């Protein structure tokens, strides 16, 4: 497994633990629709939250959340619509981003609610 893939998996585990500690219910993980992959689908009260997790070892070049572009946002929206349709669900939805800097010294988490 590549270092980048391993860091991504570690980031997703950190994000899941963070959300659980904030009283989110984890519904689904790594759900795919066409070219989109939703890292975490969670629920907070009456809202389904589609979460993109970005994890890096450093923010020297840019913050992790800056890697999300307009195309990625549009794919996430299509994936969310499809998820609701396939599962015959009617919820309010929200798109969050969890940005993580994780290295040997520390882990820094930033949660962007309604990021797009």
Sort 7 into a burial class: Cβ within 10 Å, 0-12 / 13-18 / 19+. Answer: middle
Average pLDDT for the chain: 91
The pLDDT, as a whole number, for residue 105 is: 76
Percent of the chain with pLDDT over 70: 96
> Which residues does 104 contact at the CB level (< 8 Å), separation at least 6?
none
Render pLDDT for 2-48 as a digit per residue (tens, 0 to 9).
787 888 899 999 999 999 999 999 999 999 999 899 999 999 999 99
What tokens does 100 get? 């993580």
Element (DSSP H or E) covering residue 18 = helix 3-21
Percent of the chain with pLDDT over 90: 69
What domains are defined for the chain? 3-112 (3.40.1350.10)
pTM: 0.89
For 11-20, b/e burial (b = at least 16 CB within 10 A) is: bbebbbebbe
Phi and psi at residue 94, in whole multiples of 5°? -145, 150
């Amino acid at each position: 497994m590549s270092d980048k893939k391993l860091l991504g998996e570690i980031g997703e585990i950190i994000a899941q633990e963070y959300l659980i500690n904030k009283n989110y219910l984890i519904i689904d993980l790594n759900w795919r629709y066409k070219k989109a992959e939703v890292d975490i689908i969670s629920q907070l009260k009456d809202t389904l939250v589609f979460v993109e997790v970005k994890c890096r070892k450093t923010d020297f070049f840019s913050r992790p959340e800056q890697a999300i572009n307009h195309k990625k946002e549009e794919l996430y929206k299509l994936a969310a619509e499809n998820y609701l349709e396939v599962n015959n669900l009617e919820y309010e939805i929200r798109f969050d981003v969890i940005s993580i800097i994780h290295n040997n010294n520390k882990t820094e988490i930033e949660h962007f609610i309604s990021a797009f």
